[in-house]
Amino acid sequence: MTEAREQPTAVMRVLVPGTLMIAVTFGLARYGYGLLLPDMRGDIGMSAGTAGLISSASYASYLVANIGVVRVTTLWGSRVAVGGAAAFAALGMAAIAMAEGVTLLAVGVFLAGAAAGMAFPPYGDIVDREVDEKRRDVVWSTISSGTGWGVALAGPIAIGAGDHWRIAWAVFVVLTVAVGAVAVLLAPAQSPDRLRRPQLSLSWFFCPRSRPLLVSAVLVGAGSSVWWVFCVDAMRNAGLDATSARIVYAVCGAAMLLGSFSGVVFERRGLRPSYIGSIALLAVSLGLLALATSNLAAVLVAAILFGAFYATVIAAYGIWSATVFAGHPAAGLAAFSTALTLGTLAGPVLAGIAIQYGGHGPALVGAAAITLVALPFCPPSPERRKILAAHDEECTAAPVRP
């Protein structure tokens, strides 16, 4: 352990740019689509089904980027991956801002989705290399809650822009360029050739130890994506005005900042019970939005619950993933993010179909039910960990020679 790793300044050089990068690539580039969707649908002319398909395209690019970024970090290091994420986010959101039809809009959403896919995994390696072990859970929880900062910021920007949704996207682009420049400058320049990597294989990614994590991520991805894509649309359809719906969205983002404290909660309560409670309350938030979509007070409560416990679940996944995939944190985060994305690919499409035929209520109830199915796929108990220890050899790859 180097002395620099112990210094608070060294930790802040990881924590601050990491949090800001997640804020712009997730909170703005990825989730800004759902926030501004009603106005874009009105100007461009999109059905709920088309909106769901475009959203799923962004998740498809997220999936491809998650797979590709592992290779990028291995060949060129985390700094290049972080710079690529910022570039894709800025280009994608610029395309959305200029879109006059569905085609360019879809291209922009596709690029923006790739940005989010590239941003998350590199920080698994950066935190592992640059942050002292005793601080990693708290630092990682704070970085993963960066989505909340982005969503909380996107709401006021959208309110200020009013019906001029293109202006909101243009502001997002400017913020992303600034954050990306800072993040690239502060990213460690350690040569990837100096890192010891495991020989990645299908059995390394999917084994008895990782299976509950990956299955849970698929289910939560499917359920939560319905909120991100259609919550504002549901509120507007139920009669809430645009400003109220955007305030609810911003409140959700602000509530996600509570995820910054989840590392402390995990230490005191344990990862397993914290995960179980968070999944249950995440499902409650979706159900509450379904049952009281036109009630502003109720949807504000739903937004707070969703934001706080979605952030907690994502932070739990990051810490859980670090124990399952200890040999290659970036690849492990990519595996978890890929599983999450497989769920988000299906969620908006199925929800869009459900909305066309039954309305927003049944789609949200279905999302809550899918989320609840993730409850049994939880971090292992001490007894279960002893059983899984027998699979260590099966789940561990030999390290690559330096």
* C-alpha to C-alpha distance for 27 and 228, rounded to whole angstroms: 10
- In-domain check, residue 402: no
- In-domain check, residue 275: yes
- In-domain check, residue 99: yes
* Residue, of 294 and 144, whose pLDDT is higher: 294
Tell me, what CATH number does 338's domain have?
Answer: 1.20.1250.20
Average model confidence (pLDDT) for the chain?
Answer: 83
* Residue, of 373 and 58, whose pLDDT is higher: 373
- In-domain check, residue 244: yes
H helices of 29-101, in order, are 32-40, 48-76, 78-98
Tens of pLDDT along 272-285?
Answer: 899 999 999 999 99
- Are 365 and 290 a contacting pair, CB within 8 Å? yes
**399 phi, psi to nearest 5 deg:** -70, 150
Please identify which residue in the block is written with the tokens 């954050």.
179
Whole-structure pTM value: 0.74
**In total, how many domains does the chain have?**
1
- In-domain check, residue 68: yes
* C-alpha to C-alpha distance for 383 and 376, rounded to whole angstroms: 15
- Domain range for residue 333? 3-187+195-395
* C-alpha to C-alpha distance for 321 and 304, rounded to whole angstroms: 26
* C-alpha to C-alpha distance for 305 and 279, rounded to whole angstroms: 11
Is residue 6 over pLDDT 50? no
Mean pLDDT calculated for residue range 55-68: 82
Tens of pLDDT along 94-108?
Answer: 999 999 888 999 999
